[in-house]
Amino acid sequence: MTTYDFLIAGAGFAGATCAERLAASGKRILIIDRRPHIGGNAFDTYDANGILIHPYGPHIFHTNSKRVFAYLSRFTDWRFYEHRVLAQANGKLYPLPINRLTLNALYGLDLDEAGAAAYFEKVRIPKDEIKTSEDVVLASVGEDLCEKFFRGYTRKQWGLDLSELSAGVAARIPTRTNDDDRYFSDTYQFMPAQGYTKMFERMLDHPNIEIRLATDFFAVRASLSAQQIIFTGPIDAYFDYRYGHLPYRSLRFEHEHLSNVARQQQVGTVNYPNDHAYTRITEFKHLTGQTHAGTSIVREYPESKGDPYYPIPRPDNEALFKRYAALAAAEPGVHFAGRLAEYRYYNMDQVVAAALAMTEKKLGVSPA
Ligand code: FAD
Ligand code: UDP
């Protein structure tokens, strides 16, 4: 039986970053994933019509971290892309995040920047303490904009009211008084030029790395020999749900190809806060810049059951996670990394940053 230095469960951003760093420092790695592909939720592939799609929902790379950007740039070149989103209210589409243009179009106003700031000041509902996502939204844009753009979307996405979610969820969406209609304002906003999967292939292309797909950690762990383990799946599953299930939100993705439609919607994503069972529609060609006579879109339907996609940030879940984290800290030779194992609403760049930090601080790898 081969003895590996590390067995890594999960070949998404967390697992692949750890594998790459450890292999480069001379460790022998076996990385497995229960899915038949690498890349985790960021996996992309060509659909039957030849369009590059993201089977697990749209993934747009953005970061303020020069270090993460430089690290990933070793494995891909990039296509400049700034994501834009429109949200439907009363049958019309408006820029989101809410900005000056949103206010003027929605209310038939002609505000300049100072006027937009004064408008928010007039409608906002000040809060002594910002604890929940409702506090965040009401304190910045007030009741009407909350109802038009946030409450319904959040109810659909999480099955919860804004007031039941930690502040960090709605705080992901800024409010602007200018005309900036980009969804993200990070310094680096790019898509991997040949796609995420190609980037992952390069990360894992190392003689010290062996990959086994369609392989479940729990089914094979007893038959494998490794000095240490890095687990990037759901932390409650690792401990066999000892303290009960840690809630994760799931999604169902409805993919559709439209032949002979070169462009279906004006921007990459259109959100539907108060209409339809789905939250948003994304058209992949905007993200990838691909040229094709047809187009492919995905609708996202939030679900309570199914594959775990989102940790659900609220205080009682955080308390349950802490109990699992205490078990994790006492588990000899096993390290937990990534969005599901750390139960953090991480973006891709945050997963990479956390994995780099873990390999350096905990596993003694010299800085990337
Ligand atoms: P994952 O990508 O989930 O990888 C974990 C892997 O572990 C999976 O492949 C899984 O199959 C495997 N695994 C689990 N259990 C086992 C087991 N028992 N045995 C073997 N393998 C196992 N981030 C952004 O920065 N920008 C975006 O635009 C963006 N959009 C998103 C859209 C959606 C719909 C979702 C759900 C997420 C989005 N994210 C986005 C977040 C991004 O997907 C995550 O931050 C990132 O992919 C997490 O990487 P990870 O390695 O922690 O987890
Ligand atoms: N949100 C909302 N309306 C929108 C977009 C976002 O209420 O039109 C809220 C909602 O609670 C959502 C959160 O802001 O879950 C974060 O949105 P983001 O687009 O960052 O979610 P993700 O892409 O991670 O699903």
Q: Specify the CATH superfamily of domain 3-38+204-247+312-361.
A: NAD(P)-binding Rossmann-like Domain (3.40.50.720)
Confidence class for position 326, pLDDT limits 50, 70, 90 = very high
Structural tokens at position 14: 């967390």
Per-residue pLDDT tens digits for 110-133: 999 999 999 999 999 999 999 999
- Cα-to-centroid distance, 209 and ligand 2 (Å): 37
pLDDT at 99 over 80: yes
Identify the nearest ligand to the CA of 347 by its number. 1
Per-residue pLDDT tens digits for 182-228: 999 999 999 999 999 999 999 999 999 999 999 999 999 999 999 99
- Cα-to-centroid distance, 261 and ligand 1 (Å): 31
Question: Across residues 3-15, what is the average pLDDT?
Answer: 97
Identify the nearest ligand to the CA of 192 by its number. 1
- Cα-to-centroid distance, 44 and ligand 1 (Å): 12
* 30 Cβ below 6 A of ligand 2: no
Per-residue pLDDT tens digits for 224-280: 999 999 999 999 999 999 999 999 999 999 999 999 999 999 999 999 999 999 999
Question: Across residues 47-71, what is the average pLDDT?
Answer: 98
Q: Which of 153, 251, 300 to mutate to test the pocket of ligand 2 (most atoms within 8 A of CB)?
A: 153
| pLDDT in the model for residue 368 | 83
- Cα-to-centroid distance, 309 and ligand 1 (Å): 7
Q: How far apart are CA 234 and CA 263, in angstroms?
A: 38
Residue nearest atom 14 of ligand 2, based on CA coordinates: 170
Domain spans in the chain, listed from the N-terminal domain onward: 3-38+204-247+312-361, 44-84+182-193+248-309, 99-171
Name the average pLDDT for the chain: 97
Percentage of the chain modeled with pLDDT above 70:
100
Residue 313 pairs in a beta bridge with none
Contact 60, 70 (CB under 8 A): no
Q: Which of 232, 235, 271, 312 to mutate to test the pocket of ligand 1 (most atoms within 8 A of CB)?
A: 232
